[in-house]
């Protein structure tokens, strides 16, 4: 276990390549948080608390370790990637995150279903389009007649009942300042149209995609992973807001089931801001949050002037990746969660996206690295890397991807020489999920034990 803890510290050091660190905290983000008067600190802490904090870092890995060679990397992983458990052949790529040199490629430009590894490129695209300090806003506004309060959704799937209670309290105070003690409630989801994911309504992996929802439509107390979902997440949020507004002393008449766009000239009463986008991207990657991925992608689409739907997401994300100079041949962004089996990415795109996030000239993208699960410790890798791939514990950080017959893994690994590599392994036609995951983990772990000179 001691070696694994050292590995965790090394893995935390990897992200130093992406920007300044101070005792495990991103200093730029901390300074912005202090300076930005609109921030709601407790809400940021709540979201950040869902992403395990990095251990105190060792000296930053500065890229001056001996460079790895393509021949050595191929010797380390090629046989492992030929494992029968990985089906009909793995599309793979390995890149040096400091130099950008491609060290391994096998069908690296072949289009494959990414499953949830697509969230890496979604995070990079969103951070590039919106910036790490962008926040999603849920607003309460009053119609010009002063009779109806509209709860206006801003695409924040992390909105909780406590958030709505605080928003209702501030709304009640604003209403009393206007000598208004009785209102009706309506809700506004006009930011983008509701959509069901192609996997179908009522799926436990994702709620109805709508700009207004309470805890991603979950009907239990969970915060991530599959869960039963509400059939009307926006209406549920409006009902909760009305309940809290009554509790704050406002006479709310009628039900809160009226849906429509807030009228022009509506006056803002109160606003709730999500945690900054950097924290949202980290949460999305660590816990493979499907709802948050689709919401962040729609914010990206709107910022690019596209519609907030699957097609708009595809165009906007592709545009952002093109702006970053990433390889887009054979790529099709079908959704942001990776649940759509028609999506296609390449191992080359994933590794170059990781390299962009590691670029010290692009610190705004760093959350696409810092949010990656740590092997054996956090998120979707917490229960992996404890047997044959144990050498990778704490030293591999990677986004997992799983669909029936599809297993993928993409992230970073630190070699024995201290070199930081980005990798992507995409397997299709796999038969046994556990065996395929073990094979992918073994290949990533092999990079960490390799003196790849």
116 is catalytic: yes
With 50 as the cut, is the pLDDT of residue 24 above it? no
**Angle at which helices 41-48 and 277-286 cross, to 10°:** 20
Q: Is the Cα torsion angle 426, 326, 444, 374 positive or negative in sign?
A: negative
| Contact criterion met (CB below 8 Å) for 410 and 116 | no
| pLDDT for the residue numbered 255 | 83
Mean pLDDT of 372-391: 89
If one compares 145 and 407, the residue with the highest pLDDT of the two is 407
With 70 as the cut, is the pLDDT of residue 34 above it? no
Q: What is the mean pLDDT of the chain?
A: 88
98 is catalytic: no
Catalytic residue among 68, 110, 119, 230, which? 119
pLDDT band at 33 (very low <50, low <70, confident <90, very high): very low
If one compares 33 and 334, the residue with the highest pLDDT of the two is 334
| Contact criterion met (CB below 8 Å) for 95 and 103 | yes
Give the Cα separation of 340 and 61 in Å (integer).
37
| Contact criterion met (CB below 8 Å) for 175 and 142 | yes
| pLDDT for the residue numbered 202 | 76
pLDDT digits (tens, 9 = 90+) for 55-83: 433 334 545 778 899 999 999 999 999 99
pLDDT band at 15 (very low <50, low <70, confident <90, very high): very low
| pLDDT for the residue numbered 27 | 39
The answer to which of 39-48, 104-113, 131-140, 444-453 has the lowest mean pLDDT is 39-48
With 60 as the cut, is the pLDDT of residue 395 above it? yes
288 is catalytic: yes
Catalytic residue among 278, 288, 337, 428, which? 288
pLDDT digits (tens, 9 = 90+) for 356-381: 999 999 999 999 999 999 999 999 99
The answer to which of 51-65, 208-222, 268-282, 399-413 has the lowest mean pLDDT is 51-65
Residue with tokens 């400091």: 98
Strand partners, 268: 141
Kindly state the percentage of the chain with pLDDT values over 70: 86
| pLDDT for the residue numbered 46 | 53
| pLDDT for the residue numbered 133 | 98
pLDDT digits (tens, 9 = 90+) for 286-336: 999 999 999 999 999 999 999 999 999 999 999 999 999 999 999 999 999
Catalytic residue among 116, 274, 278, 337, which? 116
| pLDDT for the residue numbered 305 | 97
| Contact criterion met (CB below 8 Å) for 277 and 365 | no
**E strands of 56-212, at which residues?**
90-96, 102-106, 137-142, 148-152, 182-188
| pLDDT for the residue numbered 387 | 73
pLDDT digits (tens, 9 = 90+) for 252-298: 998 887 899 999 999 999 999 999 999 999 999 999 999 999 999 99
| pLDDT for the residue numbered 188 | 98
The string over 132-157, giving b where at least 16 C-beta atoms fall within 10 Å of a residue's C-beta and e elsewhere, is bbbbbbbbbbbbeeeebbbbbbbbbb
pLDDT band at 200 (very low <50, low <70, confident <90, very high): confident
Mean pLDDT of 216-228: 90
**Tokens read off for 153:** 């959704």
């Amino acid at each position: 276990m001691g070696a694994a803890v050292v590995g965790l510290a090394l893995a935390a050091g990897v992200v130093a390549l992406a920007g300044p660190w101070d005792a495990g905290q991103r200093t730029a983000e901390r300074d912005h948080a202090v300076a930005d008067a609109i921030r709601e600190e407790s809400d940021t802490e709540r979201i950040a608390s869902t992403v395990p904090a990095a251990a105190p870092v060792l000296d930053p890995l500065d890229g001056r370790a001996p460079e790895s060679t393509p021949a050595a990397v191929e010797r380390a992983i090629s046989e492992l990637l030929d494992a029968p458990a990985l089906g009909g052949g793995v599309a793979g790529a390995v890149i040096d995150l400091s130099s950008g040199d491609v060290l391994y490629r096998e069908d690296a430009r072949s289009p494959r279903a990414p499953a949830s590894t697509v969230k890496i490129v979604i995070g990079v695209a969103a951070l590039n389009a919106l910036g790490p300090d962008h926040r999603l806003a849920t607003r309460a506004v009053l119609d010009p007649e002063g009779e109806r309060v509209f709860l206006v959704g801003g695409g924040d799937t992390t909105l909780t009942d406590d958030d709505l209670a605080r928003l209702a309290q501030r709304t009640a105070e604003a209403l009393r300042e206007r000598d208004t003690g009785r209102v009706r409630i309506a809700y506004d989801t006009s930011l983008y149209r509701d959509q069901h994911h192609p996997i179908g309504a009522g799926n436990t992996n994702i709620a109805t995609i709508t700009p207004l929802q309470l805890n991603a439509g979950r009907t239990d107390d969970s915060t991530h992973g599959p869960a039963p979902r509400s059939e009307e997440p926006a209406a549920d949020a409006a009902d909760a807001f009305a309940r809290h507004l009554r509790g704050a002393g406002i006479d709310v008449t009628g039900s809160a089931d009226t849906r429509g766009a807030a009228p022009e000239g509506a006056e803002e009463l109160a606003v709730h801001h999500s945690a900054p986008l950097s924290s949202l991207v980290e949460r999305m990657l660590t816990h493979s949050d499907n709802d948050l991925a689709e919401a962040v992608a729609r914010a990206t689409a709107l910022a690019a002037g596209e519609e907030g739907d699957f097609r708009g997401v595809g165009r906007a994300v592709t545009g952002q990746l093109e702006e970053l100079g990433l390889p887009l041949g054979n790529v099709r962004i079908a959704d942001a969660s990776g649940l759509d089996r028609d999506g296609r990415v390449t191992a080359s795109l994933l590794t170059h996206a990781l390299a962009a996030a590691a670029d010290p000239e692009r610190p705004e993208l760093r959350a696409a690295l810092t949010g990656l699960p740590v092997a054996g410790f956090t998120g979707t890798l917490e229960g992996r890397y404890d047997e044959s791939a144990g050498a990778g514990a704490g030293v591999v950080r990677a986004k997992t991807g799983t669909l029936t017959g599809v297993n993928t893994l993409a992230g970073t690994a630190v070699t024995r020489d201290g070199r930081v590599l980005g990798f992507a392994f995409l397997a299709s036609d796999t038969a046994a999920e556990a065996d395929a995951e073990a094979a992918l983990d073994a290949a990533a772990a092999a990079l960490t034990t390799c003196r790849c000179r």
